[in-house]
Amino acid sequence: MKLKQMVTKSGLVEKLKEIGIKRGDALFVHVSLSQLGYVCGGPQAVIEALQEVVGSEGVLMMPAQSTDNSDPAEWMNPPVPEEWWETIRREMPAYDPLKTPTRGIGKTAELFRTFPGVFRSEHPMWSVAAWGNGAEQLVSGHSIDVGFGPGSPIERMIDLDARVLHLGSPLDSTTLWHYAEYGIDSPIRSFGCAMEGRGERVWKTFEHIDVNSDPFGAIGENIVKQKNVQTFHVGGGTCYLIPSSTWEPVQHAIIALRNWLR
């Protein structure tokens, strides 16, 4: 296969500035390197470009979800034999913000959580990582019961009027939109994970709304048609710059979808 385009750090800096991102901005970033094509320097170049554009006055946040640390009874990709479940619940290492790897969110987010000056939140399944102005405070207090809702780092980014930046990544990965699932009678179910409790490793079960990104792709296709959303290209990837305020139309769309399914 012949590569047609190359993405460089300097080129990405120029493109991000061209679409209006500037020093002091707050961004929640999702990246799919495979969609961008050949990126010279890979995830390191992408992260450094983002840091250069927003500066230390700005804020970058990325997902750092560790969904391997979850109840094996719920695993589908791939499932594991039922006779393994109790052993996994007993042996899964406790969540550690410094050690626990991310899952399914790409090389850029995985590298970002290890970058100097990046702080990762304490949620054992749905953590986020942040760099920049007030990053440590943004991710603090991310307890097991807040997930993506009120009191979470997600809400704090919305309060900062952060924008969502998709660099080649699919719209159904928009973490911020999970905020829309709160306050609309979303179904509740049990979750489980390994974490530290009173100085020792415990398997913790908790009740939380059943967060579900399945509708986000279709909903997002309509959201990105709005005038306040910018669509652009980096390498071979389609990219979007989306205001955080779009969580409200996402919420309305989720409600309409549920009513229709009834």
> How confident is the model at residue 216, as a pLDDT?
95
> How confident is the model at residue 185, as a pLDDT?
87
Give the Cα separation of 25 and 55 in Å (integer). 8
Question: Where is pLDDT greater, at 198 or 220?
Answer: 220
> How confident is the model at residue 261, as a pLDDT?
60
- In the numeric block, which tokens belong to residue 181? 């699932």
| Position 2 pLDDT exceeds 70 | no
> How confident is the model at residue 162, as a pLDDT?
97
Give the Cα separation of 235 and 237 in Å (integer). 6
Question: Could you tell me if 173 and 154 are in contact, meaning their C-beta atoms sit under 8 angstroms apart?
Answer: no
Question: Where is pLDDT greater, at 98 or 146?
Answer: 98
pLDDT tier, 259 (very low <50, low <70, confident <90, very high otherwise): confident
Q: In the block, which residue shows the tokens 């791939």?
A: 78
> How confident is the model at residue 88, as a pLDDT?
97
Task: Identify whether 101 is preceded by a cis peptide bond (ω within 30 of 0).
Answer: no
Please state the pTM of the whole predicted model: 0.95
Give the Cα separation of 9 and 240 in Å (integer). 18
| Position 1 pLDDT exceeds 60 | no
Residue 37 DSSP symbol: -
H-type alpha helices, 147-227:
153-159, 216-223
Tens digit of pLDDT for each residue in 42-58? 999 999 999 999 999 99
Average pLDDT, the chain: 95
Give the Cα separation of 239 and 168 in Å (integer). 5
H-type alpha helices, the chain:
9-18, 33-36, 42-54, 85-91, 107-112, 135-139, 153-159, 216-223, 247-261
Residue 101 DSSP symbol: P
Q: Are strands 26-31 and 163-167 parallel, antiparallel or unpaired?
A: parallel
Q: How many CA atoms lie within 13 A of 184 on its CB side?
A: 21
